[in-house]
Structures are given as structure tokens and as C-alpha cells.
Amino acid sequence: MVLKKLVGSALLLMFAAMSWAAEFVEGTHYERLPVQVETTEGVVEVVEVFSYACIHCFNFDPYVESWREKQSDDVAFRRIPAIFSADWELLALAFYTAETLGVLDAIHMPMFEGIHTRQQDLRQVPLLHELFAEHADVKGEDFDTAYNSFSVRSRVQQAKAKGRAYRITGVPSLIVAGKYRVDGRLAGSNTGMLEVVDHLVQLERAAANQ
């Protein structure tokens, strides 16, 4: 009886993998990275590469947040800022400053809204002081200490390196398990990107259970 159940489970996983593979095609709906990037063990890591300066990322954010809330514990989601210019690097500094201070959740949407709704130039530190004080009760001197720290500057450099490893040419892009890249050009829409990510997460789960 136990053997039949094990065989049945294996067949279900095999048929599920076959149906997922038929739904989305590598090279058409997503791309495999030429070199796999190391990820956290024991989970399927999904990384969003984005920028606060990107209107497409701003529009995508509600979709990815809704998706994120529905994930089980075996999916680890995180963000990495894309750095295509000196201006985007300044916004990446703000991102890692917020993360270092433990206020990223409070600051994330105000950063987007400040740029795209209020047309604020958040490359300017005085405006960041105001935003962090208003939304996260962070004092200017505490912001400056983190913003100018070696740790934050190092993490920005690491983000640059990850962007190169992920072969990012546009944002938002999603990286699954350090192996696959999904973007709007291939997936066709915001919801399409997340459908492809779900497919890849399922493939990783099936592979882990084999």
C-alpha cells in the first residue's frame, strides 16, 4: 500500500512537471542564465531586480506584493536595486539605507510615490531626510550614518555585481532559483511575469522532490 502511494505521488509529480513544461517554454517565456547564481539553500529564491526610478517597476509593485503575500515558506522573495546610471545608484543607496535601518517596509512605497506621484527628486539627501523622518521616524543624523557607511556602499557594489550576473538589461526582472530570468518582454505583462515565475517555482519544487 505504501509503495503504491509512493509510486502514485511520483507519477503525479511527473505529470505535473510535464504540464508545466508544456505551458511555458524556455527561450520563449523565460531565459536560463548561462551561469547559475548562488542562492539560499532550502528555499526557492525569487529576486526582483527593480529601480525606484522605473515607472514600470512602480506599476508592477502592487502585482508582485499581492503575489508575495500568497507564497508559502519555501519561497524566499527579496529585491535588488538595478544600477544602470549614477542617478540609479543614489536610489540604490537609499534602498540599502532603509534596509540597514530596518525601515524598508515603511519606506518602500513612499519612495515610489515620491518620485512618480509627487515628482520629487529623491536623489537629494535633504528630501530623503524628510521622507525617512515622515514615514519611518528616522532622524537625519541616523540616516546620514547609514547612508555614508561602508556597509551600505558595499551592498550597492554587490547589487551591481548581481545585476551583471543576472544579465539584466531592463526592469522589472525576476530571477528564480538563481537560474532563470523573467521579464515583461518575454512574459508579455505584469501578470504574465508572475505566472511564469509560478511555473518555475513549481519546477524547482518538483526537482527537489525527485
Nearest to 158 by CA among 68, 74, 96: 96
C-alpha distances in angstroms, 23 versus 155, 177, 195, 200? 37, 19, 10, 11
To the nearest 10 degrees (0 to 180), the angle between helices 104-116 and 86-100 is 150
Q: Smallest Cα–Cα separation from 199: which of 28, 6, 8?
A: 28
Show the low-confidence residues of the chain (pLDDT under 70): 1-22
In 3-state terms, what secondary structure has residue 38?
Answer: coil
Alpha carbon 145 to its chain's center: 26
What is the rounded CA–CA span in Å between residue 209 and residue 3?
16
pLDDT in tens, 13-38: 444 444 444 589 999 999 999 999 99
pLDDT for res 23: 84
Amino acid 210: pLDDT: 77
Q: Return the C-alpha torsion angle 69, 70, 75, 79, nearest 10.
A: -30
Neighbour count for residue 108 (Cβ, 10 Å): 18
Domains of the chain, first to last: 1-82+168-210 (3.40.30.10), 85-167 (3.40.30.10)
Question: Which pLDDT belongs to residue 1?
Answer: 52
Count of all residues that appear for the chain in the document = 210
The three cell numbers of residue 205 are 519544487
User: Which H or E run includes 71?
Assistant: none
Share the mean pLDDT of the chain. 91
Q: Which three cell numbers stand for residue 136?
A: 519611518
Tens of pLDDT, residues 81-97: 999 999 999 999 999 99
pTM of the full structure: 0.88
